[in-house]
Structure 1
Amino acid sequence: MKKLFYILLFFSVAVSAQIDRVEPPFWWSGMNHSELQIMFYGKGIAQYTPVVSDDIVITNVVKTENPNYVFVTIDTKDIPASDFVFSFKNKNKTVFTHKYSLKQRREGAALREGFDSSDLIYLIMPDRFANGNPDNDNVKGMEDKADRNEPFGRHGGDIQGIINNLDYINQLGATAIWSTPLCEDNHEKGSYHGYAQTDVYKIDPRYGTNEDYLQLSQELKERDMKLIMDYVTNHWGSGHWMYKDLPTYNWVHQFPGYAQSNYRMTTQFDPNASEIDTKYCMNGWFVSDMPDLNQSNPLVLNYLTQNAIWWIEYADLDGFRVDTYSYNDKEGIAKWTKAIMDEYPHFNIVGEVWMHDQAQMAYWQKDSKIAAIQSYNSYLPSVMDFTLHDAFGNVFNEDKPGWDSGMQKVYDNFTNDFLYSDINNILVFAENHDTGRFNEIYKNDFNKYKMAMTLLATVRGIPQIYYGTEIGMAGDKGKGDGDIRRDFPGGWNGDKNNAFTQSGRTAEQQKWFDFSSKLFNWRKSKEVIHTGKTTHYLPWNNVYVYFRHNDKESVMVLINNSDEAQTVKTDRFAESLTTHKKGKSVLEGKMMDVTKDITMQPKSVLLLELQ
């Protein structure tokens, strides 16, 4: 009898080993995306016939040239939250089984509100922000080890470090967090950036666990803050488990094997572009260790769609930032985006469209009239304002007025707002994790910082700031990406000062933080900034004046980018001042008479609530 027991036990273990992975690992009842395609992976699994409980309908089974995969589609419509069993059979004999779960959704999950122009987004490079759990700095099986002396290595920041410092971010006035990717990136070097993922259903264990990520989301909700996931649709890392055993040859773009992208995103809409140039932009690999995913393959597209929805539902997300959006197969990425927005109509997704022409960027926004000329709609709600970013990068060093320099450059950027289908839903930023650090470009000039952040906080769109800039952090892009992604002071035990706390900041750090928190907390409740109209005036002597206004209130912003004091004659703004006589300075708290000329110091800003 005992011998029979061990035989059966051995057989049970051997049978269960037939399945190595199941993705998605579970799903939810009541989803709009009710046709669920489950990928089963295991050695030789395609030789078996999958069947399921009587109340579940299998609508399709796809087997590929790789016998280690089978894709089973079931209809979950009207199926309540429950567990059911897949049986894999050989000639009607069950060889092994797998229990699968449909879970109960959160109340109101489908109607979640995404980030919008009322938010201020705080961008974090998690490996460089704070090390909340030193025990996970190095994990068995993960190749890249922690070394804070290596600019391009892992430093040990993690999810717990973010959780520990949410109050700091909240005090700053930020209402949403965008973290660069947190899913597993198991490469020998440079894995800290997270954009070469090796498992898209699993948080990298050096950052924590899936449960830690869920806790981060819950902690943010308790503070009325939002969580934005950095999602990568264009590529995975060459270490991805699936790349090592591809389901189909065309799961990734093959040339065969690797071919470099030409990075010429204009080929996506250029009516004169050659086919080969278009192919190498869209299908070429971003870099050699990032295989380019083929979204024109229905299996790939559905896998990415379900993975994205799974993370939204599991982690209660409020938005996506999508990396390298305009490098994807343009038809495939539009289907991916539409599927997510159909599931969550009030969600928000911002795509990285790193271009330098407003018409080309606006092409990628949902319902673009420009894209409609080519009968294309990306369904992407939001894009990033890279042309404004370009201006941020040099305009405050342009002291003298010019036809297309100084504040005229900023003014000209906004003259093209008509190109966008939803101007309030574009992301505005002075820098991010891939660009030059603002404080490095301007050598920590506090006056230039004040001008830039006031501009960022008061123009149309959704402002995004980069971690540490609010305390004066800098970094030289010329020294490589590692230098623009320095460790936040105080995020590690033994740091000389802790800038997360007032008592731990230097006097200089405190000066920057005080200004930043005053400005950004003021913005929180200002509907006139979130959704108001803009009226701006041609810069005069490098002084730019604009108004944000609605039916209830009006805000006047004056930026003197000249290196000389300037006197601003306010009678020129009569149509915007109307009956307003005074303005209260948001930053200094003093009242000003706006019916008289205003004298401004060099490189200064005035932010006035009109009375």
Structure 2
Amino acid sequence: MKKQITVLFLLIATFTFAQIDKMEPPFWYEGMNKSEIQVLFYGKNIAENTVSISNDVVITNVTKTENPNYLFVTIDTKNVASQTLKFTFKNGKKTFSKDFEIKKRKENSALRKSFDASDVMYLLMPDRFANGNESNDSSPNLQEKANRSLPGGRHGGDIEGIINNLDYIQELGATAIWSTPMCEDNDKGYSYHTYGQSDVYQIDARYGSNEDYKRLAAEMHKRDMKLIKDYVTNHWGAEHWMFKDMPTYDWFHQFPGYAQSNYRMTTQYDPNASKRDAKYCMDGWFVPSMPDLNQSNPLVLNYLIQNAIWWIEYADLDGYRVDTYSYNDKDGIAKWTKAITDEYPYFNIVGEVWMHDQAQISYWQKNSPIARIQSYNSYLPSVMDFTLHDAFGNVFNEDNASWNDGMIKFYDNLANDFLYDNTNNLLIFLENHDTGRFNQIYKNDFKKYQLGMTILTTMRGIPQIYYGSEIGMAGDKGKGDADIRQDFPGGWKGDTNNAFTNSGRTASQKQYFDFSKKILNWRKNKEVIHTGKLTHYIPQNNVYVYFRHNDTESVMVIVNNDIKKHQINNSHFEENLKNFTSGKDVLSGQNYDLKQDILIEGKSSLILELK
């Protein structure tokens, strides 16, 4: 009996000793530019072991930290074909092993084409878009349960709901989907936005599985659509397993513990800024529930690089949108961005740089003429054009033009395009999930929606639309974020209004959708809009005229923001009209004789394809 107890004790001890709770990344791929991979092993006192690996693969480094539950093992996978490797851990006479797979890579994966100005990006929040699988509305392993009656609660939208409605998005004319984050967020409440992630290798079970996310990308690719993942480099959630048992004290920014960001992003390049102010911008936390990651720690930075590359390869992603890009350690985030674009030379990444000055936004774009002054390069291909968004947010209520009000705001915004390295790679938008709803600002004035969409879809850059605006959805940000993130009508069983179908839309929803569908689908094949030169004219009487043109085609856009009709004298635009004699309006189909003045009604626009 005593012998049996001793054997049982040894078995239990060996099992406990051998336990690995986490291995990240869970596998890797052959033929990667990043061939040196740092595999993180997490388990009770894992660092007490020596480690070796099979098949003559070289371990180039083993890093231990002050926390014995972590071991970082770097291996060189260069020229290692797809196979299953075996890590062996030994502590005295006790050994155990863990398989690590090198998977075969998709053909031409490195050369994948990303999103660009030929695309229209559809931004959605998965929890609020459509519930395709009611069985995963709550998860026994995650704290917050579904409660659709709570505006800021989990409502049950998921990956299956997106897949079920891809045909709707495709019919609308959008070619890419940017979904807000889908990795696990185990906060006790307000977790539906998923920006406080608790596991960045795992899709939140209330959205589905990793395989479901991979299937979403595959279903989109069947439709020639692109999937853009929302990536958060600046912070995780306080429920993240690595925050609960930190690998190193400086994995997160410590003050010690929490300190609030001052949100003053100008300190990142202000030559007069105090070091304290710069530190509290970069290192301060957004909120107490979002611990701030320290990208200047090489272990942290490498972890984030590997995770980002892993998701691209695993899910076959087409792009990244990076949250709060300019709050990161500026040198660290540049290395992160460069590592990804070195691996995928044509991969596009757009960063959120929420500033209200073109020079300050430009600073963060790759090869910025502004950042060059300080010998800085973020390597970030695309930035979000918040100054253009600012104009969209008030100009259509400015009926009486002045020196500073009315359509001159668009003109002045574009006059600063010389500050950017690549204006075709700016993300332009009327609104997003953090701003006021366009239709709320303009009290669902359909004419003003038409004006906004006309400019958005014919302007330089990559247009992004926000889910539901195409059917007239509104929402008051003054009532809280949940009001601008309402459920899409028809996405839940029992919804009396199903705006996903033509027959289910109200007359008002149909008016919005039909217009949006027409203009977005027209834009799809218009290379002159995607990459053509922009020439604009100083607005007169609140009427803004600009041309998109290349060697073979020209489009004339006329936007009358005045409440009165106006006569447009075409001789004013002779340098662009040249030998063109007529123009056909994309929206109405009406032909206009360019030898005569054009009469345009108040609060209306024309998109003329010149002949």
TM-score of the two chains, using structure 1 as the length reference? 0.98
Maintained 8 Å contact 2:198/2:239: yes
How far did residue 55 of structure 1 move? 1.5
**Structure 1 SS opposite 2:20:** coil
Cα gap change, 1:12 to 1:523, in 2 (>3 Å): farther
**Structure 2: gaps (5+ residues):** none
How far did residue 90 of structure 1 move? 1.8
Q: Which residue of 1 aligns with 2:519?
A: 519
**Structure 1 SS opposite 2:192:** helix
Q: Which residue of 2 aligns with 1:59?
A: 60
Maintained 8 Å contact 1:127/1:154: yes
Identity of aligned residues (%): 68
Maintained 8 Å contact 2:55/2:85: no
Using the alignment, how far apart are the partners of 1:53 and 1:446 within structure 2?
66
Q: C-alpha deviations, 1:549-594, integer Å up to 9, x for none?
A: 0001000000000011111111100000000010011011111112
Q: C-alpha deviations, 1:527-566, integer Å up to 9, x for none?
A: 0000000000000000000000000100000000001111
**Structure 2 SS opposite 1:192:** coil
Q: Which residue of 2 aligns with 1:42?
A: 43
Using the alignment, how far apart are the partners of 1:168 and 1:604 within structure 2?
27
How far did residue 12 of structure 1 move? 9.4
Q: Which residue of 2 aligns with 1:212?
A: 212
Q: Which residue of 1 aligns with 2:72?
A: 71
How do residues 104-115 of structure 1 correspond to structure 2 at under 5 angstroms? 104-115=104-115
Maintained 8 Å contact 1:16/1:97: no
RMSD: 1.5
* Alignment-mate amino acid for residue 25 of structure 2: P
Q: Which residue of 1 aligns with 2:30?
A: 29
Q: Which residue of 2 aligns with 1:401?
A: 401
Q: Which residue of 2 aligns with 1:498?
A: 498
Q: Which residue of 1 aligns with 2:223?
A: 223
How far did residue 141 of structure 1 move? 2.0
How do residues 88-107 of structure 1 correspond to structure 2 at under 5 angstroms? 88-91=89-92, 93-107=93-107
Q: Which residue of 2 aligns with 1:578?
A: 578
How far did residue 54 of structure 1 move? 4.0
**Structure 1 SS opposite 2:85:** strand
Q: Which residue of 2 aligns with 1:507?
A: 507
**Number of aligned positions between the proteins:** 609
Using the alignment, how far apart are the partners of 2:586 and 2:357 within structure 1?
33
How do residues 125-524 of structure 1 correspond to structure 2 at under 5 angstroms? 125-524=125-524
Q: Which residue of 1 aligns with 2:87?
A: 86
Of residues 516-525 and 45-54 in structure 1, the stretch that sits farther from structure 2 once superposed is 45-54
How far did residue 17 of structure 1 move? 4.8
Using the alignment, how far apart are the partners of 1:248 and 1:126 within structure 2?
34
How far did residue 595 of structure 1 move? 1.8
Using the alignment, how far apart are the partners of 2:17 and 2:231 within structure 1?
32
Using the alignment, how far apart are the partners of 1:604 and 1:16 within structure 2?
72
* Alignment-mate amino acid for residue 516 of structure 1: S
* Alignment-mate amino acid for residue 428 of structure 2: V
Maintained 8 Å contact 2:14/2:94: no
Q: Which residue of 2 aligns with 1:121?
A: 121
How far did residue 227 of structure 1 move? 0.2
Maintained 8 Å contact 1:15/1:95: no
Maintained 8 Å contact 1:87/1:94: no
Maintained 8 Å contact 1:582/1:592: yes
* Alignment-mate amino acid for residue 353 of structure 1: V
* Alignment-mate amino acid for residue 122 of structure 1: Y
Using the alignment, how far apart are the partners of 1:558 and 1:80 within structure 2?
58
How far did residue 8 of structure 1 move? 11
Q: Which residue of 1 aligns with 2:589?
A: 589
* Alignment-mate amino acid for residue 89 of structure 1: K
Maintained 8 Å contact 2:17/2:44: no
How do residues 561-576 of structure 1 correspond to structure 2 at under 5 angstroms? 561-576=561-576
Using the alignment, how far apart are the partners of 2:4 and 2:462 within structure 1?
68
Cα gap change, 1:578 to 1:12, in 2 (>3 Å): farther
Q: C-alpha deviations, 1:489-548, integer Å up to 9, x for none?
A: 000000011100001111111111010000000000000000000000000000000000
* Alignment-mate amino acid for residue 436 of structure 1: G
Alignment pair present for 1:18 and 2:2: no
Q: C-alpha deviations, 1:86-133, integer Å up to 9, x for none?
A: 001124x45211010000000110000110000000000110000000
How far did residue 401 of structure 1 move? 1.1
Using the alignment, how far apart are the partners of 1:313 and 1:13 within structure 2?
36
**Structure 2 SS opposite 1:191:** coil
Q: C-alpha deviations, 1:46-98, integer Å up to 9, x for none?
A: 0001111142000000000000000000000000001010001124x452110
How far did residue 438 of structure 1 move? 0.2
* Alignment-mate amino acid for residue 90 of structure 1: N
TM-score of the two chains, using structure 2 as the length reference? 0.98
**Structure 1: gaps (5+ residues):** none
Q: C-alpha deviations, 1:197-248, integer Å up to 9, x for none?
A: 0000000000000000000000000000000000000000000011000000
Maintained 8 Å contact 1:37/1:71: yes
